[in-house]
Structure 1
């Protein structure tokens, strides 16, 4: 199938993008690896596409002493290849390298993945575990949202009309930090059936257990230190967090937590 007719706008800078969003209802694209297929299947029928792939402000990655700020249009492949700084010392590169296939990673972007908000997407799970913060520009200026609060449901985010994701800031973990990310896929390139991302950083006090691919927004597990230390197993943590969900429905997610914890043993310290 082919998409229904639509108008196409190409923004060359952030000001042009913001002006276009202020004047009409647009669907923003950059890599177009998610919205494009949905349009071809006519599951999505935007009247206007706003292409921001050439906006320089969205294509930069800036490093400071404490974080790396990725422009929303930085591609998965650029993170995978190390052409932009990796604040985690390789964890983000590893996650990026397992997103879909290389052809998708060449064009798909970190901001686009977040905004599409597929519950099974990698960055939707990984970035909240890394305590990332998202900068959003809109009619009232720029606001910042923690990654764990950005996705509010399947394919739903906190973005309001006229707003655009500008950047994703990922703080640098300490040298003592450990990391694990595990996902189940039937074959390479598919979206995960269950996933878990875990950060344990005692020097900064950041410890997080995030579960993804639940058909909803990512789940932040309570008492992550107890889960990481094995005092609470993954199954019990999920049963407490999702009491209305049958145990069989989250069995793979519980295993993903356990596998991510096992993987942490190989994290550099």
Structure 2
């Protein structure tokens, strides 16, 4: 199939994008790489009247050092994280996360902001940025606002974005060399969406320990007592049984295994393959 007809405009800046969104009405959409939106257009699952392309908006492609954090422009591509073209707020974790996203062709086009706006529960950035305690910076017609990832992603393919709003950046706290990280996802073959995933952050210097479970057909789950799970990862299974709607035992076991693998990766302070 082919997309339904739409008007196309390339925005020069975030403010320009907001103006075009307003002119396009409620059915206007942002195009930020198109790796998720493109297939939806071709299948006519999405039929926007206007597409506002932000991939060339200069202020959405910068990295700003804020002292204890880096603010990444929403239109920075996955491949730019992977290749080290932008500074890494972590000890190499962002590059490793980006490297595991789909295929290189996707990473060459897809953007971090586009991934968050789509809010696929299986997306790598959705679960890992939740674990990293990232914040999403949003610009609207009248004011800008900042939301933590836990407030931004509200469910499968659902976010707190209001009509006319644009994600302008993602703020990620800097992590020192003493911080530890683990991320594990299960896929049937390279490039496929994860069937289960989990991310673990241990940053004692900043007083943060976090375990997040993703790819579970809802917003990522932030476990309440991460220290207890780190001490005994086997308790992840009964925790997930209580926190999620009824799921087949095999599905729950897969997610619990992802938690164990991520905990192991963090304990060993090394990246583990998916």
Q: TM-score range by the shorter chain?
A: over 0.9
Alpha-carbon distance, 1:243 to partner: 6.1
Whether contact under 8 Å (1:28, 1:49) holds in the other structure is yes
Paired position in structure 1 for 2:102: 100
Any unmatched runs of 5+ in structure 2? Answer: none
SS in 2 for 1:259: helix
Whether contact under 8 Å (1:233, 1:258) holds in the other structure is no
Whether contact under 8 Å (1:174, 1:204) holds in the other structure is no
Alpha-carbon distance, 1:244 to partner: 3.9
Paired position in structure 1 for 2:7: 7
Q: Deviations over 1:52-95 (max 9, x none)?
A: 11111101112233111110000000000000011111111101
Whether contact under 8 Å (2:213, 2:220) holds in the other structure is yes
User: Distance in 1 between the 2:155 and 2:14 partners?
Assistant: 27
User: Distance in 2 between the 1:224 and 1:82 partners?
Assistant: 31
User: Distance in 2 between the 1:142 and 1:93 partners?
Assistant: 28
> Are 1:226 and 2:228 an aligned pair?
yes
TM-score by length of 2: 0.94
User: Distance in 2 between the 1:248 and 1:139 partners?
Assistant: 46
Whether contact under 8 Å (1:60, 1:70) holds in the other structure is yes
User: Distance in 2 between the 1:141 and 1:34 partners?
Assistant: 28
Alpha-carbon distance, 1:238 to partner: 1.1
Paired position in structure 2 for 1:33: 35
Task: Note the 1:55-74 alignment, pairs <5 A.
Answer: 55-74=57-76
Task: Note the 1:121-160 alignment, pairs <5 A.
Answer: 121-160=123-162
Any unmatched runs of 5+ in structure 1? Answer: none
SS in 1 for 2:255: helix
User: Distance in 1 between the 2:201 and 2:222 partners?
Assistant: 12
TM-score by length of 1: 0.95
The partner residue of 1:264 within 255, 266, 270 is: 266
User: Distance in 2 between the 1:231 and 1:218 partners?
Assistant: 18
Whether contact under 8 Å (1:81, 1:93) holds in the other structure is yes
Alpha-carbon distance, 1:236 to partner: 2.3
Whether contact under 8 Å (1:194, 1:213) holds in the other structure is yes
Alpha-carbon distance, 1:177 to partner: 1.3
Paired position in structure 1 for 2:173: 171
Whether contact under 8 Å (1:18, 1:162) holds in the other structure is yes
Question: Which moved further from structure 2: 233-242 or 120-129?
Answer: 233-242
User: Distance in 2 between the 1:20 and 1:190 partners?
Assistant: 34
Alpha-carbon distance, 1:225 to partner: 1.2
Q: Deviations over 1:27-62 (max 9, x none)?
A: 101211110011111121111101011111101112
Whether contact under 8 Å (1:29, 1:53) holds in the other structure is yes
Alpha-carbon distance, 1:227 to partner: 0.8
